[in-house]
Structure 1
Amino acid sequence: MGRDWKRLAEAIKDARQALRLTQVDLASAAGVSESTIQNLEAGESRSRIPTSLPRVERALNWREGSAQAVLEGGEPTPSHDDDTDRAGTVTELPLRIVQELADGPLLDTTVLDLTPLGSDARMIVVVKGKPDASPEQIRKDLLAWAAAQRHLENLGGSEDQSPSASEA
């Protein structure tokens, strides 16, 4: 049986859309041209595997060789071997989150303990601004974040029943 390029095209397109990426976004994440992504998603038969395919696999969070598996009738395998990629980015995060983290200035971060809500988990909040935000817009964004943060911190109980007040 030959390579099923149409099947690979659909798998790439489906994975890209699941990550809520445009072809331009995926091309940027993979370090390839937009036309490379367009050609792969067109599903035209080829005699050789494109040299750019491993970069596209990584950008889609697929394990190396997944594209070959799809071409042969299999399924792509999610990449969970390493916690970080070569750039130090956490690969367990969806690519759309990694992309959001790369856009705009970092305004603030916080880690919220969910113990008051009956969980041992933590919530990590990253506040990013628009890339071209004015100082006034950043100030407004920080004020909005401060208000939202107060609400998040009070979800575990009323203000007079905060963990520090109940421990007293």
Structure 2
Amino acid sequence: MMKAMTEDRTTLRWAELAEAIRSAREARGLSQVDLAQLADISEGSVQNLESGKARNRMPQTLAKIEPHLGWAAGSGRAILDGGEPTPATAEAPDDAAAAEGALRRKLPLRIVDELESDDPLLDSTVIQLPGADGARMTVVVHGRPDATPEQIQEALLAWRQAERKLRRLPDGEGDEPQAANGS
């Protein structure tokens, strides 16, 4: 009897998680396809998460969709534990000031100016450069400040397509390395 009650509660929690994902996705105006593209997972993975089917282990795709739902990392687990998702938050003021100072010391002024713009931050990623012994490229994507939610979603989808291309660029013949300052 106790095992059946535990199984019922587990099934209910997975259903609650599925509903929370669906609600958060719809509140952001995203289709399942949109969310899948933003999180770089398959549409079937989103459908599975929204099915409410109880699982024995946490799907890896859950962590990939959390930021696109406006949730902090671990929010899916919190729902399964009977809690609520935690909204993604900005850094604490002291942390932000320290980070700003570090950026100003490490980055070229034109990059700092762009990062400090009032344009909304849509996404960012770090791409490891193949065969470059740990070298990587950081990309920050800004949107227009007056963009509608639909325009933001279009920009994010365009970015995802561009990101896929960046990650799959073929090696160029005769490419010469550039100096670290871009000149």
Which interval holds the TM-score relative to the shorter structure? 0.5 to 0.7
Q: How far is 1:97 from its partner?
A: 5.0
Match of 1:162 in 2: none
Matched, 1:53 2:62: yes
- Counterpart-to-counterpart distance in 2, 1:80 and 1:90: 18
Q: Work out whether residues 19 and 96 of structure 1, in 8 Å CA contact, stay in contact via their aligned partners in 2.
A: no
| Residue deviations 1:58-104 (CA, integer Å, cap 9, x gap) | 1112100000001111111111235954332469x997553233467
Match of 2:153 in 1: 99
- Counterpart-to-counterpart distance in 2, 1:41 and 1:23: 9
Equivalent position to 1:5, from 11, 14, 32: 14
The structure 1 segments of at least 4 consecutive aligned residues displaced by more than 6 Å after TM superposition are: none
Match of 1:86 in 2: 124
Q: Work out whether residues 38 and 68 of structure 2, in 8 Å CA contact, stay in contact via their aligned partners in 1.
A: yes
The number of equivalent residue pairs is 103
Q: How far is 1:39 from its partner?
A: 0.4
Q: Work out whether residues 58 and 64 of structure 1, in 8 Å CA contact, stay in contact via their aligned partners in 2.
A: yes
Matched, 1:63 2:117: no
- Counterpart-to-counterpart distance in 2, 1:94 and 1:66: 27
Which range moves more in the overlay, 93-102 or 75-84? 93-102
TM-score, normalised by the number of residues in structure 1: 0.53
Match of 1:76 in 2: 85
Superposed counterparts of 1:128-143, under 5 Å: none
Structure 1: which amino acid aligns with 2:155? L
User: Among the aligned pairs, what percent are the same residue?
Assistant: 42
Q: Work out whether residues 37 and 157 of structure 2, in 8 Å CA contact, stay in contact via their aligned partners in 1.
A: no
Q: How far is 1:40 from its partner?
A: 0.5
Matched, 1:43 2:52: yes
The structure where helix makes up a greater share of residues is 2
Q: Work out whether residues 12 and 41 of structure 1, in 8 Å CA contact, stay in contact via their aligned partners in 2.
A: yes
1:86 aligns to what SS in structure 2?
Answer: strand
2:64 aligns to what SS in structure 1?
Answer: helix
Aligned-residue RMSD, C-alpha: 2.8
5+ long unaligned stretches in structure 1:
105-168
Q: How far is 1:35 from its partner?
A: 0.3
Structure 2: which amino acid aligns with 1:98? I
Structure 2: which amino acid aligns with 1:17? E
TM-score, normalised by the number of residues in structure 2: 0.49
5+ long unaligned stretches in structure 2:
1-5, 92-119, 126-139, 159-183
- Counterpart-to-counterpart distance in 1, 2:141 and 2:149: 10
Structure 1 residues 53 and 90: CA distance shift in structure 2, 3 A:
farther
Q: Work out whether residues 19 and 94 of structure 1, in 8 Å CA contact, stay in contact via their aligned partners in 2.
A: no
